[in-house]
Structure 1
Amino acid sequence: MNVYLVYQKYNKDFISFARSIAHNEDQAVDLVQDTYVAALEREEIFANMNEYQIKGWFFTTIKNKNIDNIRKQAKLTYLENDEIFEGYGDFEESAVIRILLEKLPPNNRRVLLLKYKMSLNSSEIGKILGISPSTVRSRLSASLKILKNRLWEE
């Protein structure tokens, strides 16, 4: 059974399931679409599966993509809640890091925090900020250079 036949037969089931776990119509549709893209990219894995195994793969992938979205959203919420300066070690170290980061231009600070505090790569940061991965890398480099210079000044 190929992906197109799965789409024809089970799309409503997949949308219903995605809606039940995402609690949002748009997110549900996005989850199912992302799952179809993943299926098309790996269509050869379905060659030795029966219909029920394929259906199970879709449900599992939809669930996993939802979990990934929740984790990513939690990271962004964490970043926006200004708890980004916590957990750097002792109080003095945290205070110094806070002061140094606050001296960065906002665009550079956000890129630096997404990279090192949230552990996102250049592509993921670019998608979040609406900039290219090469711009992300340039801002990271500039940010580190600014921090290094300011650290030597202090």
Structure 2
Amino acid sequence: MDVYKVYKKYNKDFIAFAKSITDSEDPAFDLVQEAYVAALEREEIFNRMNEYQIKGWFFTTIKNKNIDNIRKRNRFRYIENIELFEATENFEENIHMKGILEDLPEKNKKVLLLKYGMNLNSKEIGEILGIPSSTVRSRLSAGLKILRKNL
């Protein structure tokens, strides 16, 4: 079945779904449009799919695009406000942990904050910092070694 026909037939369903996961109209329309553009870029994969498989692909793509957008927003929030390791309830432990983090080299601190503060993987961290994922892993290892030594 033609991607355009499925899109046209189920467009209202796609928008309703997008609204339900974004709680806002404008981002919902954007998600649906992004999914349609992605479908047009990969139109050849739909040749082997029936109407319901294509419809399912759209719903999955809309959901994944929304997750990607949330991650992007969270990354920018992280960069604007670097705070981490507030998990301990003991005031002295918080002060000690902040002191240890402040003593870390900046490159190691950034990697640790992205890894444990944002739960990002080494590839995602590398993209944010503009470094290879292997460098991210070595900086993470070095940073953890320093933290263990100072704890």
Please give the TM-score of this superposition, normalised by the length of structure 2: 0.65
How far did 1:133 drift? 0.6
Q: Where do residues 20-35 of structure 1 align in structure 2 (5 Å cutoff)?
A: 20-22=25-27, 31-32=34-35, 35=38
C-alpha distance in 1, partners of 2:64/2:106? 33
Structure 2: which 5+ residue stretches go unaligned? 19-24
C-alpha distance in 1, partners of 2:56/2:89? 45
What is the percent sequence identity of the aligned residues? 52
Question: 1:114 maps to what in 2?
Answer: 114
Amino acid at match of 1:22: P
How far did 1:110 drift? 0.8
- Displacement over 6 Å in runs of 4+: none
Distance 1:144 1:74, change over 3 A: same
CA contact (8 A) 2:7 2:36 kept: no
Q: CA RMSD in A?
A: 3.8
Question: 1:142 maps to what in 2?
Answer: 142
CA contact (8 A) 2:115 2:121 kept: yes
Secondary structure of the 1:82 match is: coil
State whether structure 2 residue 133 is matched by structure 1 residue 128: no
Question: 2:93 maps to what in 1?
Answer: 93
Please give the TM-score of this superposition, normalised by the length of structure 1: 0.64
State whether structure 2 residue 11 is matched by structure 1 residue 6: no
Q: How many residues are treated as equivalent by the alignment? A: 138
Question: 2:66 maps to what in 1?
Answer: 66
How far did 1:91 drift? 1.7
What's the CA shift string for 1:41-60, capped at 9, x where partnerless?
xx48x63x3x2551353144
C-alpha distance in 2, partners of 1:98/1:7? 54
How far did 1:76 drift? 4.4
Structure 1: which 5+ residue stretches go unaligned? none
